[in-house]
Structure 1
């Protein structure tokens, strides 16, 4: 299987775990040293453990992923690093209220030499512009 297909498969597995609200599978898709930048958080999260702690606090407050769809996926290979970006349509439940969002996400994957597969090592989530200005 080509590297591009492997990265697309790794991204699909990550998105599917998120969409299923499967905490264990979702966090298993990230390396321990992964970092996270979310437009919904005040500060970057420097490790997978920091994000998981935040995730679990959200869940205690009633957070649940109901659905997530990846749209327009693109993979750019850079040796043992791959940059994956896509648009995401997500439906969440937060404190009993259902919320839908459209966002743009970049996930950087790194090939794991000892295991031969790709793990996410950085995620950046941005709000989707409502409408881009005409130029």
Structure 2
């Protein structure tokens, strides 16, 4: 097993960007982090992308397409409030295990106005046995 280092980090300013797509936002943040590391996307062996709001939309692949890179492995992660942390952990583990040498982890979300929860018609997490709390921090704490 090898040591794992974070080579570069960056993030876009928090805000509303109605003129940008989720992949565009992710690509911008990814390129900023790569610049901070002094690396390029061609140096990467895999991308670990955290996104919950469009979890079934292959956001990682679309981020790479936005950057102009193909041909590397992509792992899309969705894990409620821990989505970004999960993408980072999976990236870290792939290097620690010797699967990859250099990887990129990116988390990207584009939130709508109003309460968190999306307003989709799904019942969500059953509250029975969860002390009546449907908030994700409470669910994580009870796990």
- Interval of TM-score (by shorter of Structure 1 and Structure 2): under 0.3
Q: Which has the higher contact order (CA 8 A, sep 6+)?
A: 2
Which structure: greater helix fraction?
2
Q: Normalising by structure 2, what TM-score?
A: 0.26
